[in-house]
Chains A and B, each alone.
Chain A
Amino acid sequence: MSLRGLVKHFDTRLAVSGVSLEVPAGSFFGLLGPNGAGKTTTLSMAVGLLRPDQGEAVLLGYDVWRAPAEAKALVGVLPDGVRMFDRLSGAELLAYHGLLRGMPADVVDQRARDLLDVLELGSGNRTLVVDYSAGMKKKIGLACALLHAPRLLVLDEPFEAVDPVSAALIRDILHRYVSGGGTVVFSSHVLEVVERLCSHVAIMSDGVLRMCGTLTEVRGERSLQDVFVQVVGGRVATGSELAWL
């Protein structure tokens, strides 16, 4: 995935100002940043959900905005803060995704059953996704992104609201996917997860890319937490103010 000079304004606010990013194939790429840094906006522009004011996004050699069909066919997306067709059951939702991707019905059936079983969502479970818990919604969203075996996964906050057991399961799935040759780009503000998983890291704040590189390059001798706080700025300790507490 390669982003070149992406810019996005919302009304008068500059949400993303000129982000350029190279994600090497086969890497496990973590996009870090505090809330409101522009991570979701950047990833939305990268996968064709949001039209950038300037710049271009190239996925596996296809420009998302010039050759959308080819680019989108190779990418699996888990958007954050976006609803799914949640009045379908989990199985129905997967079938919908599979058929929209143009997959044959029997392949869809078999893969959907596999995913539902592995993610412990139950292939015969007729509960509507709208009644799922937050963690289950993340899992079914991930299943939808994986169903067509894409070569690139773009995941926005995949670990938010997920319980520790499911998070471990998702980590394992993603590890296996990367070691099988896939590329994962995901955003998070949970530093521990990023430190444990990623081969490459980028740090964003205020719509600008502050640092980018392999984990060891970015981290150096320090912990990722220290680097992050130093890059993003902001206070992490109190002085004498809250003495009454």
Chain B
Amino acid sequence: MALTPTAGRVPVWAFVRLKLRITGNGLRGRPARIVMFVLGLVAACFFAILGHAVFALPGLLDRPEAGEILFPFGGAVLILGWVFLPLLFFGVDNTLDPAQFALLPLRRRTLITGMGAAALAGLPALATFAATLGMVTSAAQIGGFGAALAGFTGVVLGLLFCVVLSRAVISAFATALRSRRARDLATIMLAVVAASIGPLELTLLGVLNRADWESVEVIAQVTGWTPFGAPYTMGLDVAAGRAWAVPLKVLIVVIAVGGLLWWWSRTVEQAMVGAAGGPGRGRAGTSDGRGPVEQLLFRWSPRSRFGALTAREIRYWWRETRRRAALVTLGMAGVFLPLSTAFAGGAGSATGLAFVVGAIAPIALANQFGYEGSAYATNLATGVPGRLEVHSRAAAHALFTVPLLLLVAVVTAVLERRPADIAPQLGTLLATYGAGLALVMPISVRAAYALPDTTAPFSLSSGGGFSKTLPGVAALFGALIAGVPVLVLTLWWPWLGLPVGLVYGVGAYLLGAHLAGAMLDRRMPELLAAVTPR
């Protein structure tokens, strides 16, 4: 006899337990992941203690007016961090993916409370809670028990707001990004946003330097009445004798959380269906009458293996989103680094810093085989020699980078109003770039690692990404050091800069490429295994 199961009550802690179990299983038998987990734990503790101390300071020093500014702004920054940091850097915590629950008979309400509770049971939430408790300490010092109680209510509400807001935004993103094209676009947009944080910061600092404190206080007060600041100002309100504000602010936050929950429950349903959605449509319909070889190669490419390899690489730098994001970031850094230093410092500092761009540029190649993953099997099965592989990849990268380096040289020289500096500046850039390539090429063969096999824009690192990027960072510093002799040379004999830099860079590159090519010839299958996602 067939029994129809009823939609039974699933306790909330079942979700929490599931999440903890999945996290635990992910760590089992993987020492590298355990190390990364412990590092994350240490970082979270550090953040919690630091945040707690900062937020407790106004109370310990008995300076409520400092708290009036610090709490709303600090709280707002925390909340914005909850929205943007996962999108930009950390990748979204998808331990519990709503799509996995699509087939289970769960009510939406159960699902939302369960996922919310699971999100609370994580390092970020605990660290945020511990950090914001500092505000309670402050409120207790200034206003006694009543203020502390109000502050605690606010902090709990604030944490809820953080979690629900970030979940809702991520869920909305996930549904908006179902087609590959939309996801590709989002990756590029995020790269632009991430790359523009530095310049934005400088601008903001400049504005802050000029702003007077009265207007800052007004903004702080206004922020205190938005959901972003309201949870964190309740304690101080009681301490300052404005206890009437607390119920109003609680209401503001509760309404905001409620609205977000409603939004989230709407999008989560679409996200559940999303997994079964069809693939996005590409450029179907547009037809190309040219022959296949013409379509692949550029007009000036040689009709050979080298031509095919470089043409494919060039197209990949543009079509593969992670690579394009890397290019965009490099372009932003290349233009803004000299610009901002020229504005900030006096003459000479821009020249000094610009050559950093030459060292940053090759970093994009540090895991060049990881970008295409197991597709490298094609080159392996057709027996592409290592030297050819390395040269073609470097050539494609240089095609994008060398014009950028020229641009950097021109921009810095113009900013410094010394057009004669263009040539030596370019020389230094080429020297660091060549040295960087020389270091990065062997690294890309020896220390390749697999990137997740998805086109999802938010999963750039498959957990523990940091330790894998260390060799690339080492190469950055190596290239900087290697570029110093040429830099010093240009200080004494500027006219020697370009020829010496060119020869130095090309020479270093050839040496590195020779090494990397020979290494690749010995390690091709191992490299394929290293970049194949498991």
**Distance (whole angstroms) from the CB of B346 to the closest CB of chain A:** 46
CB of A130 within 8 A of CB of B381, answer no
- Docked complex: B356-391 residues within 8 A CB-CB of A: 372-375, 377-384
Neighbouring B residues of A75 by C-beta, 8 Å? 381
Q: Establish whether residues B291 and A48, one from each chain, have CB atoms under 8 Å apart when the complex forms.
A: no
Q: A96 vs B376: C-alpha distance in the bound complex, in angstroms?
A: 13
User: Which of B260-268, B282-290, B415-423 has 4 or more CB atoms under 8 Å from chain A?
Assistant: B282-290
In the bound complex, CA of A144 to CA of B280 (Å) = 24
A87-B320 in contact (CB<8A): yes
Q: Are B284 and A100 in contact, CB atoms less than 8 angstroms apart?
A: no
Select A69's contact among B286, B305, B383, beta carbons within 8 Å: B383
The answer to whether A130 and B378 have CB atoms under 8 Å apart is no
* Contact between B279 and A245, CB atoms less than 8 A apart: no
B180 at the interface (CB under 8 A from A): yes
A126 touches B286 (CB 8 A): yes
Q: Is A51's CB under 8 angstroms from B526's CB? A: yes
Q: Which residue of A lies closest to B323 (CB)?
A: A87
Contact flags B179-197 to A (C-beta < 8 A → 1, else 0) = 0100000000000000000
Is A133 touching B279 in the complex (CB atoms < 8 A)? yes
Please give, as numbers and ranges, the residues of chain B lying within 8 Å of A244 by CB-CB distance: 1-3
Stretch at the interface among B105-113, B307-315, B493-501: B307-315
- Are A131 and B292 also in contact (CB < 8 A) when A69-B383, A85-B378 are? no
Does B375 lie within 8 Å of A96, measured CB to CB?
no
- Bound together, the chains give a CA A72 to CA B385 distance in angstroms of 12
B383 CB to nearest A CB, Å: 4
Query: B532: CB under 8 A from chain A?
Result: yes
B297, closest chain A residue (CB): A95
Q: Counting CB contacts under 8 A, is B4 at the interface?
A: no
Q: Report the Cα distance A92→B316, complex, angstroms.
A: 12
Measured CB to CB, the nearest residue on chain A to B307 is A99
Q: Are A73 and B381 in contact (CB under 8 A)?
A: no
Question: In the complex, which residues 77-106 of chain A have their Cβ closer than 8 Å to any Cβ of chain B?
Answer: 77, 79, 81-89, 91-92, 94-102, 104-105
B295 contacts the other chain (Cβ, under 8 Å)? yes
Query: In the complex, which residues of chain A have a beta carbon less than 8 angstroms from the beta carbon of B379?
Result: 100
* CA distance in complex: A128, B320 (Å): 11
Report if B525 contacts A (CB, 8 A). Answer: yes
A: number of interface residues (CB 8 Å)? 52
Q: Is A161 close to B, CB under 8 A?
A: no
What 0/1 pattern do residues 1 to 33 of B give for CB contact below 8 A with A?
A: 111000000000000000000000000000000
Q: How large is the interface on B (under 10, 10 to 19, 20 to 34, 35 or more residues)?
A: 35 or more
List the count of A-B residue pairs having beta carbons below 8 Å apart.
149
Taken residue by residue from 314 to 329, chain B's Cβ proximity to chain A (1 for < 8 Å, 0 otherwise) reads as 0110011000000000
* B453 CB-CB contact with A under 8 Å: yes
With A99-B305, A113-B292 as known contacts, state yes or no: A85 contacts B316, CB within 8 Å.
Answer: yes
Residue pair A68, B383 in contact (C-beta under 8 Å):
yes
Most buried by B among A84, A128, A130: A130
Most buried by B among A95, A102, A109, A122: A95
Asked if B148 is at the interface (CB within 8 A of a chain A CB), the reply is no
In the bound complex, residues from chain B placing their C-beta under 8 Å from that of A125 are 284, 287-288
CA distance A108 to B307 in the complex (A): 14
Q: Which residues of B lie under 8 Å from residue A91 when comparing CB positions?
A: 288, 291-292, 295-296
User: B207 on the interface (CB 8 Å rule)?
Assistant: no
**Does residue A123 face the partner (Cβ distance < 8 Å to B)?**
yes
CA distance A47 to B453 in the complex (A): 24
Tell me, rounded to whole Å, the shortest Cβ–Cβ distance linking A113 to chain B: 7
- Complex Cα–Cα for A51 and B522 (A): 11
- A190 → chain B, closest Cβ, in Å? 23
Tell which of B295, B311, B380 touches A48, judged by Cβ atoms closer than 8 Å. Answer: B380
Other-chain residue from B2, B307, B381, B528 in contact with A72 (beta carbon distance below 8 A)? B381
A100 x B378 contact (CB < 8 A): yes
Q: Are A131 and B281 in contact (CB under 8 A)?
A: yes
Closest to A108 in B: B293
A95–B308 touching, CB < 8 Å:
yes
Decide if A48 touches B381 in the complex (CB within 8 Å). Answer: yes
Give CA–CA (A75, B287) in the complex, Å. Answer: 32
A68-B383, A131-B279, A131-B281 as given contacts; A109 in contact with B291, CB under 8 Å: yes
Query: Which residue from B1, B292, B453, B528 sits with its C-beta under 8 Å from A108?
Result: B292
Closest to A123 in B: B292
Q: Which residue of chain B lies nearest to A102 when distances are taken between CB atoms in the complex?
A: B305
Q: Shortest Cβ distance from A143 into chain B, in angstroms?
A: 11
Confirm or deny: B304 has a beta carbon within 8 angstroms of a beta carbon on chain A: yes
Q: What per-residue 1/0 map shows which CB atoms of A56-84 lie under 8 Å from chain B?
A: 00000000000011001101010101111
Q: Can you spell out 24 A-B residue pairs with CB atoms less than 8 angstroms apart?
A: A72-B383, A73-B383, A79-B377, A79-B381, A82-B375, A82-B532, A85-B312, A86-B375, A92-B295, A96-B312, A99-B303, A99-B307, A100-B308, A100-B378, A109-B292, A109-B294, A124-B289, A125-B284, A126-B283, A126-B288, A127-B284, A128-B319, A131-B280, A144-B378
Closest 8 CB pairs of A and B: A99-B308, A131-B282, A91-B292, A124-B287, A109-B291, A95-B296, A95-B292, A112-B292
